[in-house]
Structure 1
Amino acid sequence: MTKGVFLHRSDSIYQDQPDSHYQFPSSYLSRASQCVGDWIIYLEPTKAGKRGYHAVARVQQIIPDPTLDDMFIAMIEPGTYLDFDREVPFRDVDGYPERGVLNGEGRISGRAQSAMRPISDADFNRIVSRGLLDQDELLPRTGSYAAHQVREEAAPFLFEQERDRVPLLTNRVVRDRVFRSKVLQAYDSTCAFTGLKFINGGGRAEAEAAHIRPVEHNGPDIVNNGIALSGTVHWMFDRGLLSLTDDLEILVSRGVNDKDGIRQLINQSGRAKVPIEAYMRPHPRFLQWHRENCFKG
């Protein structure tokens, strides 16, 4: 087993769903097979956008693509995909966090052009350390905590290559906090159904990060499986009293005892307000699951 870097872009010609599967040609089969059972980092190429290294996941198995000859699919282990709290540039002021792409002279080698490539444990830990808040920020603590805020002034990690970051990636508390941080950043801490944005004196948002398909039903910790909702709306959404169509029209269950009150609470347009970036918006496959398995139409 070895860790790896998989290139992914939102406008990819391949049939990818990064939280569940990654399609690739047979020429990469040998490299991909090395990653089975281990973690990979998703990297958006600089020419495709600015996300850089932006998520991790664990490869469960490699299977032939049942629809296309000479193509394969890396199946992602359910529940392992995790967006970084902050995206890590391919190159920053400190140089290249993935030092394995450099040659002996410290210059970019042809290795950097490979869409699937192995990565050392040191490089993996370095990138994850920069992509996630420090462990002390993520693990439980008492008192108020502005989980949706990113520390721009964070000091560099010392000896980060010696710190194994894998335990953080499977910690449920860590994953919940990173998910909340990422979703509230995407929605500017604003409830998508009501348009309300409340911040308390400690800087914590009233809005909550709701999973559209819950974790206990194999819902991934990915932004497009999340939506920012106020506490009351979140409660109604989880209980199937509210839902969304694929084009983001808010659905109200026939079981609601005060439909007029709900209509006054939600956006006058009757539609959810979502991020501009398409990859952050609720994905139709998760919305369909919610309508079919949770919504009490």
Structure 2
Amino acid sequence: MLQYVLNVRQSQLNEARNVVRIYRTNLFKAWKLIGRHVLIYAPRGEEDTGYQGLAEVVDVHPDPDHPNFIRVEIGAILRFSVTLTPKMLYDAGDINDAPFYTYSHAIRAAPSFEVTRIAALEPLFEHRPSGWHEDTSSRAVEGAAPKRALSNKIIRSRILRFQMLQHYGPSCVFTLLELPSLDGLHFAVQQGHLWPLEYGGPDVLQNILPMSGDVNWLWDNGLISLKNDGTPLVASGASQQVLGLLRNCTRIRFPKDPRAWPQVEYLERHRDMVFEKNRAEARLAFQRLNR
């Protein structure tokens, strides 16, 4: 299994030391590493240059203050007993022909020779950290398929959420409330599906809007909807609490990029088959559609 390296400079770390800020050009590489352990490397110019340990890539977030950067969230770093420099990995007679700038890339594939040497020199690898080397026996590969499918599903969901936050921001489009975690990495907003997933709606950017948990429930239960121009609709039987929740919303803002706008078909599906209907009626409407 190919292993990867994440370069970490002290200046790129947040105070909690669980977020590394890197250039956005590394976004697709970073997405592929979600849920995997990577080698942590301090590049040239740092006080302690070399391979310092392992950490799991937990998630990738937009950087709202610097659009040319992304924030890579990592778990606690499993520190090596000593920092392993490239020079320590190449014995006399072993040639390191990699150009010096190879070690400056924010995310890079780890040379197989270096991975083998690190595993031989570092006692940490006696316990085989989770997400590192995989068993490639036929039984293990067969059993890994469902796990891999689940992992891919989680990664796709994280990517979709990243795109949603990037285009809309972290506020609920209806209530305009923004509820961040203490570290500013996570937000209470949910991926609200216009054409609900339970009725066969697609899990794509054009079928989601950032909604608070309450608003998402109202949407799925037919109490609110949207016109094609973003004007909110409230069911005739909705309570005053529902009206009060949407009092600040006269029209939601669509992203600057029209490719991210809600697809009209999905809005129409919701208005025709979910809005002002109970769950049983909505389910029946979609069953008839799929016959």
Q: TM-score, normalised by structure 1?
A: 0.46
Could you say which structure has the larger radius of gyration? Answer: 2
The structure carrying a bigger helix percent of its residues is 2
Q: TM-score, normalised by structure 2?
A: 0.47
